[in-house]
Amino acid sequence: MKKQSLILLMASLMISSFSAFAEAEVQGKLPLKDGVQSNILTIYKDATLIQQIRSISTESGKDGSFQGIPNSICPESFMISSATKENGFEISEFSLAPAAAGASDLGVTLSFKNTTSNLLKEIQLLYLFKNLDWHIDYAFYFSPNYEDVKLNAWIEVNNKSGVAFPKAQIQFIDCLVPASFSPLNPPSDSQADIQSHKKDALTLSDHAHAYVYDQLVDIPANGAKRISWVNSQAIKAKQDYRLFVGGAYLEDMEGKPAHPVVETWISFQNTKEQTLGHPLPKGEATLYHGDEKGAIEVLGKAFIPHTSVGQEISVKIPATQAEKNFSTTNDNKALQSFETELEQTEFKKLSDKITESSYRLNLKNKANQPITIRVTLDLPKGTWTVVRENISHQQNGDHQVFWTIQIGANSEVDLKYRVRLIRD
């Protein structure tokens, strides 16, 4: 990614954030502390962008100052301009100094010299600072039969900047700021340096997701605050069983058969009909389960990936708990009597980047009722082809295929497939 692309990406995110915030329910100016009229925060994973309107009064050619700047400000990102349609103004210099002793929410003081003939009334500040972080935590409650789900999602905002931000409009971004705070040293002509520079650029993420919170939030100067992102009490879910055959199985298995574990998953749609309908950031979930007698137990933890509106949310039930909690269902009785064997029947390395391998997956059901298994093949980045197969697959995204296979009572099925990979 070129430097120009990074600048354009940052600009587009800033513009989109400001336009989204403009639609928030904010009526007129906000009478905030120390002349602050409004706070707009875009919180990345490594820093925060603030757009702030302040009211001040400074005569022509005289110095001005105000407090409330975080001491973790990135001075090179600082920008000041007129917030009104009046003639612009210029400042010849600015400096940062510690605030008065004991003023924990005042941060540092910004002093500047006004060099225009205008009386400054409202100014707009734009800068980046650190020590304001965010993450999301999920909590799931499953009914005894796992068909009904309750979900809470809480975004924690942790402020260690030393400055309070009252009545702030907030947008959360799940990537790094698309610009480095350290000096951007252009790569030399050597291929090693060029590749290293490209790698650094890619860490800025080409697939950032933005999450706009539609209410004003008071962020304390020091401490954490949890705000509700999702509160759904009536979600309808379905249970299914999955077996994964990607990853290490795509390498040379050296003739050694494997026995992939069948996993239990609970899935539902992220829609308004499900009392959801908000994009969900990636995060960790705590899982609870209630039994028929009203007792509640902890199932464990699960990872929730970014889930857009309209997409399916899938939660993996930890293996030991799945065996325990599903032991009364017909499907799980079949699952307990289920055997798997994955055999790599051929592996060819056609070049440094190209491999082709064939597989036979034996699925054996020893129970007296049928069971359906979803066999999932996760593929690495690059070009891939399912050369041949004895059961037709379906595709889920650019790097996943799966087969839905029903195995009858006291019977077995062989899935055979051949895959060619051209890795990047």
Per-residue model confidence as pLDDT tens digits over 97-112 = 765 555 555 567 777 7
Q: H or E segment at 42?
A: strand 36-43
Q: Is residue 105 part of a domain?
A: yes
Q: Where are the beta strands (DSSP E) in 44-147?
A: 48-58, 63-69, 79-82, 91-98, 108-114, 120-129, 132-142
Q: Is 162 a domain residue?
A: no
Q: Which of 80, 104, 130 is the last residue of a domain?
A: 130
**Residue 244 domain-assigned?**
yes
Do 263 and 411 share a structural domain? yes
CA dihedral over 12, 14, 15, 17, signed as positive or negative: positive
pLDDT value at residue 128: 95
Residue 375 included in any domain: yes
120 and 246: one domain? no
Instruction: For residues 282 and 303, give the distance between their C-alpha atoms in angstroms, rounded to a whole number.
Output: 8
Same domain, 258 and 398: yes
Q: Which of 70, 102, 130 is the last residue of a domain?
A: 130
**Cα(423)–Cα(295) distance, rounded to whole angstroms?**
50
pTM here is 0.76
CB proximity list for 274: less than 8 A, separation 6 or greater? 232, 234, 235, 236, 268
Q: How many domains does one find in the chain?
A: 2
Helices marked H in 90-178: none
Q: Which domain holds residue 372?
A: 238-267+316-423
Give the pairing type, strands 132-142 and 120-129: unpaired
Tokens 């698309």, residue located: 178
Which of 130, 67, 74 shows the shortest CA–CA distance to 100? 67
Query: What's the order of all strands across the beta sheet hosting 223-236?
Result: 223-236, 148-159, 132-142, 283-290, 296-304
**φ and ψ at residue 326, rounded to 5 degrees:** -105, 10
Q: How would you class 134 by CB atoms within 10 Å of its CB: exposed for 0-12, middle for 13-18, buried for 19 or more?
A: buried
Compute CA distances 360 → 64, 184, 249, whole Å: 76, 51, 12
In angstroms, what CA-CA distances link 221 with 163, 165, 345? Answer: 4, 7, 62
104 and 251 within one domain: no
Structure tokens at 202: 């890619």
pLDDT for res 58: 63
* Residue 213 lies inside a defined structural domain of this protein: no
Give the span between the Cα atoms of 341 and 360, in whole angstroms.
8
Handedness of CA 253, 257, 258, 262 (dihedral sign): positive
Tell me: do 370 and 242 sit in the same domain.
yes
The stretches in the chain having pLDDT less than 70 are: 1-34, 57-62, 85-92, 98-107, 114-121, 179-207, 320-335
pLDDT digits (tens, 9 = 90+) for 380-416: 988 999 999 999 999 988 889 999 999 999 999 999 9
- Whole-number Å distance between alpha carbons of 301 and 287: 6
Strand partners, 107: 69
The verdict on residue 118 lying in a domain is yes
The CATH number of residue 383's host domain is: 2.60.40
254 and 118: one domain? no
Instruction: Tell me if 415 is assigned to some domain.
Output: yes
Please say which residue of 130, 150, 184 terminates a domain.
130
Structure tokens at 190: 């050597």
Q: Is residue 85 part of a domain?
A: yes
Say if CB 310 and CB 269 are below 8 A apart: yes
